[in-house]
Each structure stands twice: as C-alpha cells, then as structure tokens.
Amino acid sequence: EDPWQTVSASAIAYDTGWNVPHALEEEEIQQVIGRFVEAAKRAERAGFDFIELHAAHGYLIFQFLSPLSNQRTDRWGGSLENRMRFAVEIARAVKKAVPNLTLGARLSVKEWVDGG
C-alpha cells in the first residue's frame, strides 16, 4: 500500500494520467478534522495568534466544496450545505479547541472551469 496515498472528497482523478485519490470514508473524515484541531493546538503552543484554514487552490477542504471534485451522495456531498459541512465542522472544532486564536479561511470563489 502506498504510504503517500492521495485522498479527496471523491475518487476522481484531477486529469488524464493522474492517480485516482482515495475517497475519504466517514471515520477518515473525522480523523482529518481531528488533525486540523491538533495542528491548531500546535500553532497556539508555538505562539501564533492567528491561523488560516486553506480552503482554496485545490487543497482538501476546497475539494469538498467543489461540485466537480465532490461527487459524494452522503452528508458530505450534493447540496452546497452538505459540501460546506467539512469546512464548517473543521472551523467549529478548531475554534472550540483554541478559542483564543483568531481563525480565518482562504476560499476560492471561482474554479475557472465550467460546472465549478
């Protein structure tokens, strides 16, 4: 098994010739949310006052937001509300864990691809 397996909202390759990522399962999604919390705690211990969730430029949070890369049929996909759930749950969990840190988010508002 590849120790550097790429993951995404859905098992959809970025383009022809690219590897197909592993679609995260519910338990794995919860683990990723927990890892964001752990990272935020490390940032706070390191003395940071502000952290930013990177939900742009094709990164994992963005992949859940995009109707192109998120073809899920569960509570994490479909409607905009469902596609936003991953980002919202990360933000809520991080803010609960480190309430004194200012939390921001970087979002892509345009995918520059039809249907995005």
Coil, strand or helix at 11: coil
Which one is catalytic: 59, 79, 102, 106? 59
φ, ψ of residue 47 in degrees (nearest 5): 100, 10
From residue 48, alpha-carbon distances to 10, 38, 39 in Å are 33, 14, 11
Active site residue 14: no
CA–CA dist 67, 72 (Å, integer): 9
The helices-and-strands tally (H runs, E runs) of the chain is 3, 4
Task: Give catalytic residue positions.
Answer: 59
